[in-house]
Amino acid sequence: MRWLHKMCNRVFNRTMEPNPYNRSQTEMRYTFAGQFVDGRLVVDVACGKGIGTYLMLSLGAKTCIGLDLDLPSLQRAASMYSDCSFACCDAMRLCLPDDVADVVVSCEAIEHFADPAEFLTECARVLRPGGLMICSTPNHTVYRWGGRNPYHLREMNVEEFLGLFKDLFIDAQLYGQWQILYPAYILKRILLHFLQSVRVKSLLRRLIRPSADRTSADTAFVEGICHPEFEVKPYAARPFVKPMYLVAVARKPLRVGVL
């Protein structure tokens, strides 16, 4: 019975259900961004409860400002992380002046906007010349097999995502996170769809009761837990292995109109 429990836990909690809010993945994205923030003013757009905002401050940022539209989350963030600043605003109309930030970070937000180019334009506005934009999003090529996310208005593949940066930024570099064996993943998703259609999955859930994610506390990332499979690495186009998430790092030109 133990082997069946282990298998179902993997199927239901990890390999079969990609979760954009998985804390281990999110922590690795913010940790990746942390290598670019030392001594800089950083703006975290769509910061949620501010956990990643605070992480970047702890990784060496001089100042961290978290922006989000959800006021209760921001109030919680402000109460937990008093060394950071937080403000409530629309990501399409950031409450910051032009050319103020050294780094703008946005993890898993751009896919929630109908016009991602407009979102990047607003992020570029608040970046100083030469500043860095760090943005992550699900890779639609892989992510689509997990089923439609009703909150995602515009998921993108590699070409679409990189294409957004060419008119606003220079030196765009692409990275990938969570490398998936693509053919096997597709087969797993098809199998899961079949199990759902015959209602086997709900029965197994009741019988096996997979263990809950132990890293779900919402006040800080869990220290000492390493997930090398979620490390952000330089993107490489490969036919059978593809990243679940894409991360772009690009620079705002020093002069307007010079790309």
pLDDT in tens, 177-213: 999 999 999 999 998 888 877 766 565 555 555 444 4
Global pTM?
A: 0.84
Distance, CA of 105 to CA of 100 (rounded, Å): 14
CA separation, residue 246 to residues 30, 142, 172 (Å) = 13, 11, 12
* Domain annotation for the chain: domains and CATH numbers: 18-180+226-251 (3.40.50.150)
CA separation, residue 89 to residues 50, 173, 190 (Å) = 14, 28, 40
> How do residues 28-39 score in pLDDT, each as one tens digit?
999 999 999 999
Contact 91, 117 (CB under 8 A): no
Mean pLDDT of 60-70: 98
What pLDDT shows up at residue 228?
Answer: 83
What pLDDT shows up at residue 11?
Answer: 46
Contact 248, 174 (CB under 8 A): yes
Contact 94, 101 (CB under 8 A): no
Give the tokens for residue 134: 């760090």
Contact residues for 124 (Cβ-Cβ < 8 A; gap 6+): 133, 168, 169, 252
- The proportion of the chain whose per-residue pLDDT surpasses 70, expressed as a percent, equals 79
Give the tokens for residue 133: 């934009």
What pLDDT shows up at residue 45?
Answer: 98
199-201-207 Cα angle (round to 5): 110
